[in-house]
Chains A and B, each alone.
Chain A
Amino acid sequence: MVLPIKDNVPGWLGGSGEHSDVVLSSRIRLARNLKGYPFSTKIRPEEEKQILEEVLKVLKREKILPSMTQINLKGLAAYECNYLLEEHLISNDLLSRRRAAAVVVGQSGQVSMMINEEDHLRIQSIFSGFDLQSCWREAEKLESIVGENLEYEFHPKFGYLTACPTNTGTGLRASVLIHLPGLVLTKEIQKVLRGISQIGLTFRGLYGEGSEVLGNFFQISNQITIGKTENELIEHLAQITEQLIEHEKNARAILFKDAGHYIQDKVWRAYGILQHARTITGEEVMNLLSAVRLGVSMKLIKKLSVSSINRMLIYSQDAHLDVAAGKRLNANERDINRATIIRSFFNDH
């Protein structure tokens, strides 16, 4: 099957929005379960099918569906599913439930909804740059429309009920994907991350739970989902993100003042390798693009934009290479293809 969104550029890579030199994207997801169905641990296949049908019916009735694209995971090859994962449209959890799992994706992927995930519905919104408020607005809009048609599981004290108690209450996870090479290079990062985990926030790598921190990209999110309003949770993350941005900008300024040659060397060496490599692993690309991204946002490299680097970050991922080739590649083929697309990108600019 051909992915219906294959040629769309995800909006969150656009490099627009506030502080987009530091914050790649902002994201909010809401977990909801429908009343009358057991949670994912106890659900039967026919019930999953019913949920999918009911939700799609609502989206059609509300005239949401033609403008959003529906993708059923069942008909997709594994690498096509991974492609959606790399675009942050689906989760690993949804992948493990391919039977009746689907995702509906709005234009440029800014709002989407996973159906039959760990919770029946996972509504999410991703925006480029530092813009949690837009994410909340969009996610909540879709959540309300579905909620007017279908009843959510709700407890008067505990709030929205989720399969896992770590999501109960608001069901809200807000996160920012933030690029912190300055804090890593100045070795401030440990202190910062330690601080973050003490104030109810947590960090992960680019691809969520359990993923490695590569290329100095961190995903910072709220850990607590109950006892605070959605706005309080979002505001808290926003305040801390603002502080992080300021720390990062200071760290970059110090680096360039005290170790300008060293940084320039790092940036341009990375640029050189990306321009000439003939085979390259995903991990190496990530780290080199991180250095080049720093160079671009510090205006050392003027002919590239932050948004084009963001796109390369995702286009050079394994499943994106597979989808471009139209088949599942082996590791060697991928590394060669990766080097080729990166090289042509760098030589075109």
Chain B
Amino acid sequence: MKCENCNKNDATIHFTQVKEGKVVSYNLCQKCAEKFGMKVAKFDSKQQPVFTPDAKSEVLSELLQGKGSGDNDKCPVCHSTLDDIKANGRLGCGQCYFIFENQMDVLLRRIQASSFHVGKRTSKLDDRIYNDQIAIRKLKKQLSDAVKKENYEKAARLRDEIISIEKRLEVSM
């Protein structure tokens, strides 16, 4: 990944932080990070500073900018708008995750590299959903392998299998 500032060097400094209620992620090369004066932790004055995940900097605080919300969607439960969520860096209630599902999906993938929970579930129904989702992940990987190997017959079979599980998932969700 290239540095988000200079676009030249490899980004070696990656971190996510919550700053003044906003979630910000950075991918910078060391030079640019230093140039932006990110705060550093000194645990020994004789040593070079180290970047901390709590660095305060005004750079790249554009996260959640999305496409500028534009829409007037409002959570029916807590009345949060996307702008409120952006301003707080926090969601208003559980329902917000459902109302702004697409935006949250993008955000989670950006700050956490995934939007797909694979851990503990709350109920048996969730367990089934979970197993289906795991199955889809596996099948998709097999599908892309099959396509790479130009094994189209197998790929078509895998695709159909994925579609059928996805249909089942839609019903149970």
Q: Which residues on A are within 8 Å of B, measured CB to CB?
A: 33, 35, 37-42, 118, 140, 147, 151-161, 163-166, 168-170, 172, 184, 187, 189-190, 193-194, 197-198, 200, 202-205, 209-210, 212-214, 216, 223-230
Using CB atoms, name the residue of chain A closest to B172: A156
> Nearest Cβ distance between residue B150 and chain A, in whole angstroms?
30
**Does B12 contact A198, Cβ atoms closer than 8 Å?**
yes
> Nearest Cβ distance between residue B3 and chain A, in whole angstroms?
14
- Which 8 residue pairs of A and B lie closest in terms of their CB atoms, listed nearest first? A227-B114, A159-B117, A153-B94, A213-B43, A38-B93, A170-B119, A42-B92, A202-B53
B119 cross-chain contacts in A, Cβ below 8 A: 159, 169-170, 172, 228-230
Q: Which residues on B are within 8 Å of A, measured CB to CB?
A: 12-16, 18, 23, 41, 43-44, 47-48, 50-54, 77-78, 80, 88-94, 97-98, 104-105, 107-108, 111-122, 126, 129, 133, 173
B16 cross-chain contacts in A, Cβ below 8 A: 166, 223
**Does A38 contact B122, Cβ atoms closer than 8 Å?**
no
Tell which of B91, B113, B129 touches A165, judged by Cβ atoms closer than 8 Å.
B91
Known pairs A158-B108, A165-B111, A168-B108; A209 contacts B98 (CB<8 A): no
A187 cross-chain contacts in B, Cβ below 8 A: 47
Using CB atoms, name the residue of chain B closest to A218: B43
B129 cross-chain contacts in A, Cβ below 8 A: 156
Tell which of A42, A202, A212 touches B15, judged by Cβ atoms closer than 8 Å.
A202
**Does B118 contact A189, Cβ atoms closer than 8 Å?**
no
**Does A169 contact B15, Cβ atoms closer than 8 Å?**
no
**Does B92 contact A210, Cβ atoms closer than 8 Å?**
no
- Of the candidates B88, B104, B120, the one having the most CB atoms from chain A within 10 angstroms of its own CB is B120
**Does A197 contact B53, Cβ atoms closer than 8 Å?**
yes
> Nearest Cβ distance between residue B4 and chain A, in whole angstroms?
16
**Does B15 contact A197, Cβ atoms closer than 8 Å?**
yes
Which secondary structure dominates where chain B touches chain A?
loop
**Does A209 contact B112, Cβ atoms closer than 8 Å?**
no
A197 cross-chain contacts in B, Cβ below 8 A: 13-15, 51, 53
**Does B18 contact A226, Cβ atoms closer than 8 Å?**
no
Taking A118-B90, A147-B122, A153-B93 as given, write out 8 further A-B residue pairs in contact, using a Cβ cutoff of 8 Å, ordered by the A residue number.
A38-B92, A155-B117, A163-B91, A165-B104, A203-B53, A204-B54, A226-B108, A227-B115
Using CB atoms, name the residue of chain A closest to B54: A210
Using CB atoms, name the residue of chain B closest to A192: B50
- Of the candidates B51, B54, B104, the one having the most CB atoms from chain A within 10 angstroms of its own CB is B54
Which secondary structure dominates where chain A touches chain B?
loop
Known pairs A39-B93, A169-B112; A151 contacts B118 (CB<8 A): no
**Does B43 contact A216, Cβ atoms closer than 8 Å?**
yes
- Of the candidates B48, B93, B98, B116, the one having the most CB atoms from chain A within 10 angstroms of its own CB is B93
In the bound assembly, the distance between CA atoms of A228 and B134 in angstroms comes to 11
A214 cross-chain contacts in B, Cβ below 8 A: 43
**Does A151 contact B122, Cβ atoms closer than 8 Å?**
yes
Known pairs A172-B119, A214-B43; A223 contacts B78 (CB<8 A): no
A202 cross-chain contacts in B, Cβ below 8 A: 15, 53
- Of the candidates B53, B88, B129, the one having the most CB atoms from chain A within 10 angstroms of its own CB is B53
**Does A41 contact B116, Cβ atoms closer than 8 Å?**
no
Using CB atoms, name the residue of chain A closest to B89: A164
B92 cross-chain contacts in A, Cβ below 8 A: 38-39, 41-42
Using CB atoms, name the residue of chain B closest to A205: B41
B133 cross-chain contacts in A, Cβ below 8 A: 157
In the bound assembly, the distance between CA atoms of A204 and B12 in angstroms comes to 19
B77 cross-chain contacts in A, Cβ below 8 A: 38
**Does B78 contact A42, Cβ atoms closer than 8 Å?**
yes
**Does B15 contact A194, Cβ atoms closer than 8 Å?**
no
**Does A165 contact B54, Cβ atoms closer than 8 Å?**
no
Known pairs A39-B90, A197-B13, A230-B120; A158 contacts B115 (CB<8 A): yes
A205 cross-chain contacts in B, Cβ below 8 A: 41
A226 cross-chain contacts in B, Cβ below 8 A: 108, 112, 114-117
**Does A155 contact B97, Cβ atoms closer than 8 Å?**
yes
In the bound assembly, the distance between CA atoms of A214 and B44 in angstroms comes to 9
Known pairs A41-B92, A164-B23; A204 contacts B78 (CB<8 A): no
